[in-house]
């Protein structure tokens, strides 16, 4: 047996002999590694998920507010608009020669906790996500009738809907809504493919459908004594008076800044036009401090785990004095003793990293559906990327560095000190 193999064998036997303490140390490092990798993965995948939500849209236009607020409620279905914009203003912008297409957005209603969005057929033709990926239908087709709806993949899966089912839209947001439009149910005409974006958690209807369910409503409640059934409503002019926002595709992206400036100076009513990419960068800048703080906490937790390993090794030095003395007596050099401590530290850190990965991916399997449904973030379960491998490498290097102190202490202890009985 070579010297290195003998040192490794002795190190493993020593660890097994102290298995309970070693296991607790490994578990502490594993938890810290899981937290550090989890924070990093959520941070990276959250950015990717947000960035992949919208693609190919040059401008988003809404009522005058903040750019981040407009981005959040129009694209990510987070929050609410401070005001609507008139249909006339929408048509004026849509009629511009430099505008290729527009997608109207009308929000404010819900169905069993999922947002309802009023839009038009251009949504299914021009809305794209990821790397310019178009929406695809898993079943059915776009809505054609006023009282037809297209469901996102998560809505259909969680609520068990299929083509032809009837759904009732509720006025307001929340799991139940404030009041239900149960006199005008919608029929499911289509179900979209999974996209990993807020589209999956959206109930899509036409803007005319949004107008139709509110013809006998005023100020958020049904008008007493006024009730119109679906057939009567179909015969009415259902052109909406206002919408929440709209997306714009231009004939040339070179004109984006000019069109943005002109819309922001729109005289008919105060409008706000934003570039989705710029607004997204503003959002990340706003979250930068929170990201840094969360990353710092995760690093401190890892440092605490490694400090626990160092404490365990230092605490065991006095108990292992005779072990060290016997090894020195049979010819082990001080360098061999130091190497043994280094191997033990690397073994503990490696086991901690491995167990941390197992805990992380186990947690991801359990929490992925919950995070996607409740927060709208799709966290893919894939192999660790280069950055994550580098983090694990740094943990191993830090573990090796932590072993230097106990190794030096053991190195300096003489054979006579190891054979001396201390009382």
Whole-number pLDDT of residue 217:
67
Same domain for 155 and 260? yes
Same domain for 29 and 129? no
Same domain for 173 and 262? yes
Whole-number pLDDT of residue 123:
96
Spatial separation of the C-alpha atoms in residues 277 and 129, rounded to whole Å = 13
* Residue 124 burial (C-beta neighbours within 10 Å; 0-12, 13-18, 19+): buried
Whole-number pLDDT of residue 28:
86
Strand pairing class (114-119; 202-206): parallel
Mark which of 249, 274, 299 sits at the end of a domain: 274
Same domain for 122 and 166? yes
* Residue 370 burial (C-beta neighbours within 10 Å; 0-12, 13-18, 19+): exposed
Same domain for 29 and 114? no
How many independent structural domains does the chain possess? Answer: 2
Per DSSP, 62 falls in state E
For residue 382, give its domain range: 3-50+288-419
Same domain for 267 and 311? no
Same domain for 124 and 245? yes
CA distances from 303 to 40, 346, 348 (A): 16, 15, 14
Is residue 356 classed as helix, strand or coil in its secondary structure? helix
CB 136 within 8 A of CB 193: yes
Same domain for 242 and 97? yes
10-residue mean pLDDT series, the chain (423 residues): 69 76 85 85 76 87 92 88 92 94 94 92 92 89 94 92 93 64 89 90 94 76 67 85 95 92 92 92 78 78 80 71 67 70 84 90 82 63 82 86 78 54 49
pTM over 0.85: no
Residue 283 inside a domain? The answer is no
* Residue 183 burial (C-beta neighbours within 10 Å; 0-12, 13-18, 19+): middle
Mark which of 231, 252, 274 sits at the end of a domain: 274
Whole-number pLDDT of residue 370:
73
Whole-number pLDDT of residue 163:
95
Whole-number pLDDT of residue 420:
53
Same domain for 350 and 375? yes
Whole-number pLDDT of residue 220:
59
Whole-number pLDDT of residue 13:
78
The distance from CA 398 to its chain's CA centroid, rounded to whole angstroms, is 29
Residue 396 inside a domain? The answer is yes
Task: Enumerate the β-bridge partners of residue 134.
Answer: 128
Same domain for 231 and 314? no
Spatial separation of the C-alpha atoms in residues 193 and 199, rounded to whole Å = 10
């Amino acid at each position: 047996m070579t010297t290195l193999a003998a040192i490794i064998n002795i190190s493993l036997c020593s660890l097994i002999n102290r298995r309970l303490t070693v296991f607790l140390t490994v578990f502490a490092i594993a938890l810290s590694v899981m937290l550090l990798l989890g924070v990093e993965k959520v941070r990276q995948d959250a950015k990717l998920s947000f960035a992949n939500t919208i693609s190919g849209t040059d401008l988003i236009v809404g009522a005058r507010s903040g750019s981040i607020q407009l981005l959040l409620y129009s694209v990510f279905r987070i929050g609410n608009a401070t005001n609507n914009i008139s249909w006339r203003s929408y048509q004026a912008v849509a009629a511009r020669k430099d505008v290729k297409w527009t997608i109207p957005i009308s929000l404010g209603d819900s169905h069993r906790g999922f947002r309802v969005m009023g839009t038009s057929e251009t949504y299914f033709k021009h809305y794209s996500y990821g790397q310019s990926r178009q929406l695809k239908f898993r079943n059915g087709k776009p809505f054609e009738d006023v009282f037809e709806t297209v469901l996102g993949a998560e809505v259909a899966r969680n609520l068990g809907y299929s083509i032809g089912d009837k759904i009732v839209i509720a006025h307001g947001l929340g799991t139940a809504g404030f009041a239900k439009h149960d006199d005008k149910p919608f029929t499911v005409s289509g179900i979209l493919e999974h996209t990993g974006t807020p589209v999956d958690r959206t109930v899509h209807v036409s803007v005319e459908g949004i107008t139709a369910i509110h013809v006998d409503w005023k100020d958020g409640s049904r008008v007493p004594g006024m009730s119109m059934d679906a057939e009567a409503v179909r015969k009415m002019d259902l052109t909406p008076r206002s919408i929440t926002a709209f997306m714009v595709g231009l004939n040339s992206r070179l004109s984006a800044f000019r069109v943005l400036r002109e819309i922001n100076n729109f005289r008919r009513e105060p409008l706000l036009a934003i570039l989705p990419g710029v607004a997204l960068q503003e959002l990340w800048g706003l979250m930068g401090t929170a990201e840094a703080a969360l990353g710092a906490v995760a690093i401190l937790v890892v440092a605490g785990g490694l400090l626990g390993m160092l404490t365990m090794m230092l605490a065991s030095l006095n108990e292992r004095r005779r072990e060290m003395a016997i090894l020195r007596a049979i010819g082990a050099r001080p360098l061999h003793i130091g190497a043994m401590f280094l191997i033990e530290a690397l073994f503990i850190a490696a086991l901690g990293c491995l167990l941390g990965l197992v805990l992380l991916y186990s947690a991801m399997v359990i929490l992925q559906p919950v995070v996607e449904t409740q927060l709208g973030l799709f966290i893919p379960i894939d192999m660790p990327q280069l950055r994550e491998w580098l983090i694990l490498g740094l943990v191993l290097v830090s573990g090796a560095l932590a072993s230097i102190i106990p190794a030096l202490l053991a190195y300096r202890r003489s054979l006579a000190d190891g054979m001396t009985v201390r009382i």
